[in-house]
């Protein structure tokens, strides 16, 4: 129960960061928002880790996978923050929910995992959901919608590379490394787009990073009490806070096409999750025969 409470709290909190990012993106360049998210995340998380989790501050065992993983999460953040600067939070997040579908595709193509016909059908079902939201041919293709899909694609690669890091490095070390890598990446780019900030904007950037760091910390803590596979479907609770913030602060309420597409995408993601659980349970109950 503790794991569920922590996990849901994280997913209900993270859209607050997205809401602040959308507000700031209307006033300053979205890359400045990305910079603030990473830079102040490092400023906040490093002292916390040093004082409370000092034993996790070690050099990564696999620096290259850490760099690849951090790069994909950085790209996902850039694409997502760009998309919410133009389209509604709900539409951007709905399209980013294609990530579990992308993971299934990449598992077959990169990790060479066996994917059955039913899971391929779920992938197609989720893709139809994305098409319903974008509706190519009925509306002009919006580059922000494509960016949101790019965020989901990048996040899918991020999850695949995270699988590679499982049992190699500490999750807290990975969080710190991700923040440092992102801060360094964007610090080389952001000077070309920089505009002066007023005190309120600085405070919002710090608050945005603090909320994001707290959200990810809650996710890490929840994984101390339950397996990631059991908590995975709870990520869809993010849409609840997302819709509330989008409607209350920006006057954006999902239209019927976004709701319909969201049903397709979430149904697909939950089905893939259930199939993964059933597959793992079957393997545990009937372990493969190993000749000695």
How far is the first Cα of the chain from the last one, in angstroms, to the nearest whole number?
Answer: 42
Q: Which of 137, 155, 135 is nearest to 145 (CA)?
A: 135
Neighbouring residues of 37: CB distance < 8 A, sequence distance ≥ 6: 17, 21, 77, 81, 182, 205, 208, 209, 212
Whole-angstrom distance, CA of residue 97 vs CA of residue 127:
10
Three state DSSP letters for the chain: CHHHHHHHHHHHHHHHHHHHHHHHHCCCCHHHHHHHHHHHHHHHHHHHHHHHCHHHCCCCCCHHHHHHHHHHHHHHHHHHHHHHCCCCHHHHHHHHCCHHHHHHHHHHHCCCCCCCHHHHHHHHHHHHHHHHHHCECCECCCHHHHHHHHHHHHHHHHHHHHHHHCCCCCHHHHHHHHHHHHHHHHHHHHHHHCCCCCHHHHHHHHHHHHHHHHHHHHHHHHCCCCCHHHHHHHHHHHHHHHHHHHHHHHCCCCCHHHHHHHHHHHHHHHHHHHHHHHHHHHHHHCCCCCCC
Q: What's the pLDDT at 175?
A: 73
- pTM value is 0.79
Are 151 and 40 a contacting pair, CB within 8 Å?
A: no
Q: What's the pLDDT at 287?
A: 46
Q: What's the pLDDT at 263?
A: 82
| Tokens at 150, concatenated | 């790019």
pLDDT along the chain (292 residues), means of 10: 79 88 92 94 81 67 77 90 88 79 72 69 75 62 85 83 64 75 91 93 94 81 65 71 83 80 77 66 49 34
Whole-angstrom distance, CA of residue 238 vs CA of residue 246:
12
Q: What's the pLDDT at 38?
A: 92
Whole-angstrom distance, CA of residue 198 vs CA of residue 181:
26
Location of structure tokens 């996790």: 56
| Tokens at 72, concatenated | 């994909």
Dihedral sign for Cα 239, 242, 248, 250, please: negative
Q: What's the pLDDT at 112?
A: 66
Specify burial of residue 203 (Cβ count, 10 A radius: 0-12, 13-18, 19+): exposed
Q: Specify the length of the chain in residues.
A: 292
């Amino acid at each position: 129960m503790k794991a569920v409470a922590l996990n849901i709290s994280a997913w209900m909190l993270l859209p607050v960061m997205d809401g602040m990012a959308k507000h700031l993106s209307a006033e300053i360049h979205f890359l400045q928002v990305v910079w603030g998210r990473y830079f102040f995340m490092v400023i906040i998380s490093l002292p916390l880790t040093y004082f409370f989790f000092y034993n996790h501050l070690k050099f990564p065992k696999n620096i290259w996978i850490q760099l690849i993983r951090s790069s994909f999460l950085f790209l996902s953040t850039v694409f997502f923050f760009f998309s919410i600067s133009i389209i509604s939070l709900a539409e951007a997040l709905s399209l980013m929910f294609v990530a579990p579908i992308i993971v299934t595709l990449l598992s077959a193509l990169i990790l060479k995992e066996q994917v059955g016909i039913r899971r391929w059908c779920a992938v197609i079902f989720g893709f139809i959901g994305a098409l319903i939201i974008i509706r190519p041919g009925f509306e002009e293709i919006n580059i922000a919608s494509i960016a949101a899909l790019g965020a989901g694609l990048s996040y899918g690669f991020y999850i695949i590379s995270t699988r590679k890091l499982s049992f190699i490095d500490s999750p807290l070390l990975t969080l710190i490394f991700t923040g440092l890598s992102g801060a360094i990446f964007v610090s080389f780019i952001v000077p070309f787009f920089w505009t002066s900030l007023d005190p309120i904007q600085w405070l919002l950037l710090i608050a945005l990073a603090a909320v994001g760091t707290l959200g990810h910390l809650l996710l890490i803590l929840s994984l101390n009490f339950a397996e990631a596979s059991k908590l995975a479907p709870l990520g869809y609770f993010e849409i609840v806070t997302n819709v509330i913030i989008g409607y209350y602060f920006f006057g954006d309420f999902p239209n019927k096409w976004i709701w319909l597409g969201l049903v397709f995408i979430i149904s697909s993601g939950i089905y893939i999750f259930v199939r993964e659980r059933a597959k793992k349970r079957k393997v545990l109950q009937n372990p493969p025969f190993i000749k000695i």
